[in-house]
């Protein structure tokens, strides 16, 4: 493995890399640098925590010359607002000794704020697809000068339903441009996108889809239900020396809120929460407080925390077994970043056994089962979805053929109505000599005469 000196960066970037204390590029950074620099279309497949952001920023910034033009030359699309903020911070870090203008735009902020921002003149725009499309379609932002398009975490973008906006953004971009795409998983939708819009892309694959990072220690506990899981995580978090900085993943917003309320009651002032129902300022403040150490625990939903880079996490805890095994890989990727050691803990119930098997088959690796703590209190309280569905004996919700009793009988032949359509009505009219149309005044006059 080479060093950053081998990449022959500009002196400005070399100074920043030295200030940040980096000496050796990660595999994805080392492999992607010359390809992106060549101007070819690039598709990078790499797990989270492997340094993808710097992998595309370093070659782009090396070639980005000073310019006074108002319209942006580089467009970076990411799926969430938090990722916009994170990428903008990464650009600002790397351009500490350069004159590069960068702006981040995303939903949840007044449109006029972003209109004023982009009209100041920017070199790089980092955006979520929805807000960028709104700005472009209203002609507040011109994309005609874009030379390089980066789509990061594209699989999440498509999962969130941004395909429509992406298709329309492609139509607004100049044909002659470099396309750079990074994804942790290669799905059929991602493959279709590459086929439709990329020109002979070079593929760089550092880790196959579903391959966990080897430097992450994975363990799990078997517990019966959600409220017992809360008791277990509360028991573990009492050890503040071991669990110094913890992200806890919840499957949905409702469970995240229940978990947060219970943990905050026990560990007052030590917990934060992020999910899509929280305001943008609340989410950014929660992430900032967690990252700088003011909060020890962050409860998060899958999508919101996707791609976020937290400094020196001690543990990632999954409060459930995700239905899609790739989501588990993304979760544990929050720890063990940049080849550091990481720890992951998974809580599973017997009902989640099928999902657990799928994860282990995808990774081709068993997750070590640990014994529950001796002081763990088992809670019999169940969530509605955890309760067995009891069918009332005397009030069945659906009657099937086999359950018809002895009193059931079919209608008699004479009582069975058959829809004979128009011919039946015509036969009746002929029999009783009724006019074809009741409201036909002329016909009725003739009849009276």
Q: Residue for token digits 């329309």? A: 168
Q: Are residues 357 and 280 in the same domain?
A: yes
Tell me the two tokens of residue 189.
Answer: 């939708």
DSSP state of 222: E
Q: Are residues 88 and 188 in the same domain?
A: yes
> Do residues 200 and 40 make contact, with C-beta atoms less than 8 angstroms apart?
yes
* Residue of 20, 24, 102 whose CA lies nearest to 61: 102
Q: Is residue 252 part of a domain?
A: yes
Q: Is residue 393 part of a domain?
A: no
Last residue of a domain, one of 340, 374, 408: 374
Burial class of 97 by CB neighbour count within 10 A (0 to 12, 13 to 18, 19+): middle
pLDDT at 158: 79
Tell me the two tokens of residue 58.
Answer: 């370093």
Distance CA 262, CA 265 (A): 5
Question: Which residues of 41-83 form beta strands (DSSP E)?
Answer: 42-45, 74-77
Q: Are residues 301 and 255 in the same domain?
A: yes
User: What is the DSSP secondary-structure string of 18-51?
Assistant: HHHT--S--HHHHHHHHHHHHT--EEEE--TTS-
CB count, 10 Å around CB of 371? 8
Q: Are residues 13 and 155 in the same domain?
A: yes
pLDDT at 410: 67
Number of domains present in the structure of the chain: 2
Distance CA 282, CA 136 (A): 28
Helix (H, G, I), strand (E, B) or coil at 13: helix
Q: Are residues 178 and 237 in the same domain?
A: no
Tell me the two tokens of residue 20.
Answer: 């940040």
pLDDT at 182: 87
Last residue of a domain, one of 347, 374, 401: 374
DSSP state of 437: -
Q: Is residue 382 part of a domain?
A: no
pLDDT at 364: 86
- pLDDT string in tens for the chain (449-residue length): 578 888 889 999 999 999 988 888 988 899 999 999 999 999 988 766 678 899 999 999 999 999 989 999 999 999 888 889 999 999 999 999 999 999 999 988 899 999 999 999 999 999 999 999 999 999 999 999 999 999 988 877 877 778 888 889 999 999 999 999 987 777 788 888 888 888 889 998 876 555 556 788 999 999 999 999 999 999 999 999 999 999 999 988 999 999 999 999 999 999 999 988 888 788 889 989 998 999 999 999 876 656 677 878 899 999 999 887 878 888 888 887 656 788 999 999 999 999 999 999 988 889 999 999 988 999 989 888 888 776 656 655 555 555 556 666 666 766 666 665 566 566 666 666 555 555 555 555 555 55
Phi and psi at residue 123, to the nearest 5°: -90, -40
Q: Is residue 346 part of a domain?
A: yes
User: For 306-350, what is each residue's pLDDT tens digit?
Assistant: 667 787 889 999 999 988 787 888 888 888 765 678 899 999 999
Q: Is residue 101 part of a domain?
A: yes
Tell me the two tokens of residue 315.
Answer: 């543990």
Q: Is residue 423 part of a domain?
A: no
Q: Are residues 139 and 224 in the same domain?
A: no
Distance set, CA 328 to CA 213, 258, 412, 446 (Å)? 12, 21, 60, 83
pLDDT at 222: 95
Q: Is residue 436 part of a domain?
A: no
Q: Are residues 188 and 227 in the same domain?
A: no
Distance CA 437, CA 428 (A): 13
Domain that holds residue 162: 4-205
Last residue of a domain, one of 341, 374, 407: 374
User: For 177-200, what is each residue's pLDDT tens digit?
Assistant: 999 998 777 778 888 888 888 888
Q: Are residues 223 and 159 in the same domain?
A: no
How much of the chain is helix, strand and coil, in % rounded to 5? 45, 15, 45
pLDDT at 338: 59
Q: Is residue 325 part of a domain?
A: yes
DSSP state of 403: G
Residues 6+ apart with CB under 8 A from 363: 210, 211, 212, 325, 329
pLDDT at 433: 59
Tell me the two tokens of residue 201.
Answer: 């892309």
pLDDT at 435: 54
Q: Supply the CATH number for residue 241's domain.
A: 3.40.50.300
Distance CA 258, CA 262 (A): 6
């Amino acid at each position: 493995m080479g060093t950053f000196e081998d990449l022959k960066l500009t002196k400005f970037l070399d100074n920043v890399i030295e200030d940040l204390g980096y000496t050796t590029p990660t595999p994805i950074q080392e492999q992607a640098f010359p390809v992106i620099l060549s101007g070819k279309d690039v598709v990078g497949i790499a797990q989270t925590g492997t340094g993808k952001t710097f992998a595309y920023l370093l070659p782009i910034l090396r070639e980005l010359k000073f310019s006074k033009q108002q319209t942006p030359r580089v467009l970076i699309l990411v799926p969430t607002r938090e990722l916009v903020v994170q990428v903008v911070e990464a650009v600002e870090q790397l351009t500490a000794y350069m004159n590069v203008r960068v702006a981040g735009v995303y939903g949840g902020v007044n449109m006029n704020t972003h209109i004023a921002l982009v009209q100041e003149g920017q070199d790089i725009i980092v955006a979520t697809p929805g807000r960028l499309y709104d700005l472009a379609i209203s002609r507040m932002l011109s994309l005609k000068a874009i030379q390089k398009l980066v789509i990061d975490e594209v699989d999440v973008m498509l999962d969130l339903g941004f395909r429509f906006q992406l298709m329309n953004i492609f139509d607004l971009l100049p044909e002659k441009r470099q396309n750079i795409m990074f994804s942790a998983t290669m799905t059929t939708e991602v493959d279709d996108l590459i086929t439709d819009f990329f020109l002979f892309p070079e593929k760089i694959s550092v880790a196959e889809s579903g391959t966990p990072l080897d430097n992450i220690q994975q363990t799990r506990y078997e517990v019966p239900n959600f409220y017992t899981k809360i008791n277990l995580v509360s028991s573990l978090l009492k050890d503040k020396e071991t669990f110094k900085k913890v992200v806890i993943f919840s499957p949905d917003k409702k469970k995240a809120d229940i978990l947060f309320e219970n943990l905050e009651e026990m560990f007052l002032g030590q917990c934060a929460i992020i999910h899509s129902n929280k305001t943008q300022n609340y989410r950014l403040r929660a992430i900032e407080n967690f990252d700088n150490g003011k909060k020890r625990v962050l409860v998060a939903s899958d999508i919101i925390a996707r791609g976020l880079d937290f400094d020196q996490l001690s543990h990632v805890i999954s409060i459930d077994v995700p239905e899609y095994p790739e989501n588990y890989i993304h979760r544990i990727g929050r720890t063990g970043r940049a080849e550091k050691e990481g720890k992951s803990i998974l809580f599973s119930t017997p009902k989640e056994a099928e999902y657990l098997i799928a994860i282990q088959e995808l990774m081709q690796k068993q997750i070590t089962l640990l014994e529950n703590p001796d002081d763990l209190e088992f809670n019999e309280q169940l969530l509605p979805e955890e309760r067995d569905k009891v069918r009332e004996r005397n009030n069945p919700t659906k009657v099937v053929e086999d359950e018809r009793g002895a009193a059931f009988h079919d209608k008699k032949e004479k009582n069975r109505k058959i829809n004979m359509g128009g011919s039946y009505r015509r036969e009746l009219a002929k029999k009783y000599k009724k006019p074809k149309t009741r409201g036909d005044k002329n016909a009725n006059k003739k009849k009276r005469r």
